[in-house]
Amino acid sequence: MIQNIIIESISKGVFFGACIFIIVLIMLVKMPNADVSTLVFKIFRGFANYYYWGYIACILVIIGWYLHIRWLIDRNVAEMDRLVEERNSLQKKFLDSNFTGSDS
């Protein structure tokens, strides 16, 4: 199961993020329960005091940027496919009628 997750994260290009997540998860599991609850309360206090909202905004901007780039790439691929189909149909239309080949 872990092997499949690692292979999929490498193929998607998010291996670094997966490694960070696994390291943080291992650190949380190894911490004593009292320290984990203290950490969680500190994080919630940071959100209540608007301390972490800048980090959240930065992450959201990066995600939006990534999604926009993916959209642009998909749109470009679709346009290139359309142009290839149009080129092939025009070549077939004009070359089949005008080109007799070397056999004749």
Domain spans in the chain, listed from the N-terminal domain onward:
1-34, 43-98
* CB count in 10 Å sphere of residue 83: 10
Q: What is the DSSP string of 25-73?
A: HHHHHHS-HHHHHHHHHHHHHHHHTTSSHHHHHHHHHHHHHHHHHHHHH
Q: Cα(58)–Cα(69) distance, rounded to whole angstroms?
A: 17
Mean pLDDT (the chain, rounded): 86
pLDDT at 67: 92
Give tens-digit pLDDT for 27-56. Answer: 989 999 889 889 989 988 988 888 888 999
